[in-house]
A and B are shown apart, each in its own frame.
Chain A
Amino acid sequence: MTLDISKIRADFPVLDQQVNGSPLVYFDNAATTQKPKSVIDALSHYYASDNANIHRGIHALAERATTAFELTRTKIKEFINAPSSDQIILTAGTTGSINLVAQTFGRANFSKGDKILISNLEHHSNIVPWQMIAEEKGAIIEVIPVDERGVLDLNAYRNLLDASVKLVAVNHVSNAIGTINPIAEMIQLAHAHGAKVMIDGAQSIAHLDIDVQALDIDFFAFSAHKLFGPTGVGVLYGKRELLESMPPYQGGGEMIKEVSFEGTTYNELPYKFEAGTPNIADVIALSAAIDYVNALSKEALFTQELALLAYATEQLSTIPGLRIIGTAPDKIAVISFVIEGIHPQDLGVLLDKFGIAIRTGHHCVQPLMKRFGLPGTCRASFAFYNTFEEIDLFVKALRRSINMLQ
């Protein structure tokens, strides 16, 4: 299936604008993706026609809102091939999902001396929640190292695995340098040692096919806003027996079965973990994002992105002094780079003046930056709606910026 990129671009209103007098080139898709019009319309349609609180009301609006909300849950279930919708917990984002697992699974299962394995590629949000619960429980965090290319050292991983490891928490794809981790193999190895695995799918959900059953994932987390959906919605998938055995997270409405002053019984999955009125509008609009991706096919989108990655890598390699950080053989369309003698922030400021949006800094992965001995990098991250012409504009602006700075 060949994609009609100009037709696709017309679906994303934000792309059609000038920034500082130049056409916007949006290469910050790993931070957040843009939204198709169908998602924006779903949001405004909900507020204009269906707004009601869900699950409790018996009036028409409450019923429409509840149906649409639960339909999203079903679509998510299909999107990641979960066995059942009630294993799809709706949260505020990947960070919210990871904290939920840390504070419930972690609280119930970690004890003194237990190990939690994370990797050197992790985003701060897949480090700090584990540090918090580890400190509380006396558990120990150990780190799977990465090599010069930004590839996880699987031998070191094998050596770190033993019976004291209760959980392995790794990202599917590195946000800073794009490495795709061999999670199928990593999960198998962890399970062989009796450890559970949490996959941070924030950076893979929009690009790679996810089948939580085929991969035998215990917990999988992602954010809607990195899947062309709204901000403020996240997903946590978990295996049924794990979710059922975990204590509730936050207390409040919706998560209860019966409340008395003597005690409270908790609701069933998934509501046990969904206290309070959820982010109804944004959840409903996520449905439109999933439909959008399904209609185009994830595989076709990823093929387009890899072509962009190959072209950008080739073009950037012609710039003197430019070094790409992260050269794993399996990568999504993310390029992190530094330029000899130039601070990333200076490039970010000047590229913005040319209308080009990239990310500069530590990308919330300070331990990884430390590993490479860098204060930060420049990161260009592509989505299927980006074009080869945009890469040309970017490279031209980058050369001009380097000239200004040298």
Chain B
Amino acid sequence: MSLKAFHLVFVTAAIVLAFGFGVWLLKGYASPGGSAWDLVFGLVSFAAGVALIFYERYFLKKTKNVSYL
């Protein structure tokens, strides 16, 4: 597996983490002690996940001539 392939695996894991962290923060917001910051950072985390998806597409385009092996 080349660095390109491993990078795609890593970014995919980071995307899952970003969405998971967003859910964790929103759950914190919905709980009795939740603050507005939980909502703000939860939304920022979702936005980061979306940004990483676009980055992954950009990276795939940029390295289309590089082997996965």
* Genuine A/B complex: no
